[in-house]
Structure 1
Amino acid sequence: MDLLKQMAEKQLGQKVQLEPLVGDGSDRIICRLRVEGQTIIGIYHENLEENRDFLLFTKEMAAIGLPVPKILQVAEDEKRYLLEDLGPNNLAQQMDIWRDSGENSRFLNAYHEVLHWLPLMQVGMAHQLGVHLKNRVMDKNQLISDLIYFETNYIKLFGYESDYTDLVKEELYSQVIEPIAQLEGAFFVYRDFQARNFMWHQEKIYFIDYQSGMLGNKYYDLASMLYASRSGLSEKQRTLLLYHAFQKIGQGESKAQFEENFYLVLLLRRFRSLGSYGFLGQVKKKSGFLESIAPSLREMKGLFEKRAIQGRFPQTAAMIDQFIKKQS
């Protein structure tokens, strides 16, 4: 903290006040550094590879016109850096404000703005970072690792091994992993593309926390965004946004095929999310993440009724029913 403060004082030319900020699920130290009439964000993180990726991705995003924070200064050791302050509210927090003031109609407009940037991000960043990301690909092994992550951090942590049967595993591998592995995988995937990683600043969207990006299919980030625990969206709004996304990025495929691919990717994404909630809640002792499990399970139950994948997952649907009973 002191080193960040010294760095900021050198940048701003005067003494600063330091306000620690809480990062969702992150090991980074994040703070707001304040002087009269001006604030900046300071970040300290021991993980040099992650820092370098964030700084590189920020530079390349800015180069193609994507809205990201300005990098103000980077320490020689690359463990500390200063960023433009994009204000106090991410989109999830801003949506709470709109909801409290009866401005729910603004939700869709904000998400439409995010979708406006999605084609440029998926194609443009893949072009900019193709060489850097050549070994970071959402291939079949990565897809399988998502299921293993779910098994390790949800099934085993909660003692649900008897529900995760061989029939469920076979169904997931044949009906989810195999079809997704056949999808085109040359798009930039943000990995944590959701409202809490979009800042709302001066009536515009800005992107943050994209350093885990890799190459993969074009549905993954869309699934992350529409079904994040704090998306703030109704099922009707998700359907409208999914159709809008189809118009933006669905070239070369029918609406039915686009929806089938989307819901398969979403299903795998939701299993990964359950693993994340289990890990952050049980291992990292961040109890707030455990509160996301029950609504996520209810949403997953609804997915099996979607026309695009209806009737394809009897074993998996039965397992989710068991999880819901154990949560109640």
Structure 2
Amino acid sequence: MTLRLDALRHWIAAQHRLPQEACQLTTVAGDASLRGYCRVTFPDGTTRVVMDAPPALEDSQPFVTIGREWHAAGLPVPKIHAVDLSWGFIELDDLGNDSLHHHFDIESGAREGTSQALALLDKIERLAPVASLPSYAADFLEEEMDRFPDWGLTRWLGIETPPQWPEVKRHLLAHIARLPTVAVHRDFDAMNLMIHRDRLWIIDFQGALAGPLGYDLISLLRGRYHHWSRQEMDLWIEDFRQRCLAAGRIGPDLDAETFRAGVEAIGAQRQLKILGQFCRLCLRDGKPRYLDWLPHFYGHLDEGLEALPALGDFHRWLRESYRPAMEARLVEQRTTSDAGNPP
């Protein structure tokens, strides 16, 4: 790490024709990936952020390509000032530390923030180029769902996959296929929306794909930082449908019930992926803190499946088998962790 920080300091100083000691580096909190971030303060007090993505571990070309395309399209993404993909260094605008999720701790903040985020989502769907993005194809959606039985059931819980699993995937994919294709961020979460200069800015867009309308909507509504009631969810989803209808992104054939089922199917796909992926982050990447989110996203999945009654058998299996096993395993994990870290 010290070697990379030294290399990063040398690189950013060279970009600005400054001595290395004139560039002050401060580590910025990272994310679930293998990327790291540093804030650089220059002698005149201005700052930039440098992404550190070791090329052997992270392919940064999609970030650069999408970032430049979205910036050129007029979307609020950090400007890319310099790139060295051989090292995995990218110099970006500094958007500060105030992400939208900090404002979700009270109801009024969550409501206002969600409204602002959905207005931004309208802009993404209107302006973001689609043709240059890879397709969020059905086989990729299925592979993501299979992380649930692979990592969440077999490897972490040690329980068998329910026999309904193939039908669950087919049912969800059939609903998702009815939705039109747009540019989707794929992690349109309140943590990935920064408040800077009194507007929202988009970060972590490197995973964007050409995928189903509604994916980013459900990512926001069933995210990490707020829980909406069933009635509130239905209102948000229907309001979004009406906006898409008015903008011509969908036709009248996508009625309220069909659209809601499609959006909740996307949500179920995403939540199943997360339940498996967070176990993978623990087991493969040594990041056990993500396990603490499992009950939260299970709750989202449980509520979303209420809109998909054809998956009733699977829904009951989740309540009667998965949830108790998951909760017991979390208790065991915490007990083991506490025993290894006595006060």
Say which SS state the counterpart of residue 262 (structure 1) adopts: helix
Aligned partner of 2:108: which letter? S
- Aligned to 2:41, which of 34, 43, 48? 34
- Counterpart amino acid of residue 165 in structure 1: P
Extract unaligned runs of 5+ from structure 2: 329-343
Cα distance change, pair 38–95 in 1 and its aligned pair in 2 (3 A) = farther
In the TM superposition, what is the alpha-carbon distance from 1:57 to its structure 2 partner?
Answer: 0.9
Which digits, 9 at most, give the CA deviation of each residue in 1:254-311, with x for residues without a partner? 2222111111111111101111111112222212210000122222222233xx42x3
Corresponding residue SS for 1:229? coil
1:105 is aligned to 2:108: yes
Following superposition of structure 1 onto structure 2, how do residues 25-174 of structure 1 map, counting pairs within 5 Å?
25-35=32-42, 37-47=45-55, 50-75=59-84, 77=86, 79-96=88-105, 99=106, 104-125=107-128, 128-130=129-131, 132-133=132-133, 136-162=134-160, 164-166=161-163, 168-174=164-170
Change (3 A) 1:318 1:222: same
Partner SS state of residue 171, structure 2: helix
Secondary structure at 2:271's aligned position in 1? helix
**Alignment gaps of 5+ in structure 1:** none
- Indicate if the aligned counterparts of 2:73 and 2:127 stay in contact, CA closer than 8 A: yes
CA distance in 2, matches of 1:202, 1:95: 19
Q: Cα offset for 1:158?
A: 2.0
3-state SS of paired residue (1:27): coil
| Shift, 1:64, TM fit | 1.7
CA distance in 2 between counterparts of 1:199 and 1:237 reads 24
- Measure the CA separation in 2 of the matches of 1:89 and 1:61: 21
Return closer, same or farther for 1:313/1:92 CA change in 2, 3 Å cut-off: same
TM-score (norm 2): 0.83
Q: Deviations over 1:304-327 (max 9, x none)?
A: 33xx42x32222112211222121
In structure 2, C-alpha distance between the alignment counterparts of 1:177 and 1:243, rounded to whole Å: 21
Aligned partner of 2:162: which letter? T
Tell me the SS of whatever aligns to 1:312.
helix
SS of alignment partner, residue 313 of structure 1: helix
Deviation at 1:179, TM superposition (A): 2.9
Contact 2:99 2:195 in 1 (8 A): yes
Distance 2:97 2:256 in 1: 38
Match of 1:234 in 2: 228
Instruction: Compute the TM-score of the two structures, normalised by the length of structure 1.
Output: 0.86
1:211 corresponds to: 206
Q: RMSD across aligned C-alpha pairs, in angstroms?
A: 2.2
State the alpha-carbon separation in 2 of the partners of residues 245 and 293 from structure 1: 27
Q: 2:241 aligns with which of 220, 239, 246?
A: 246
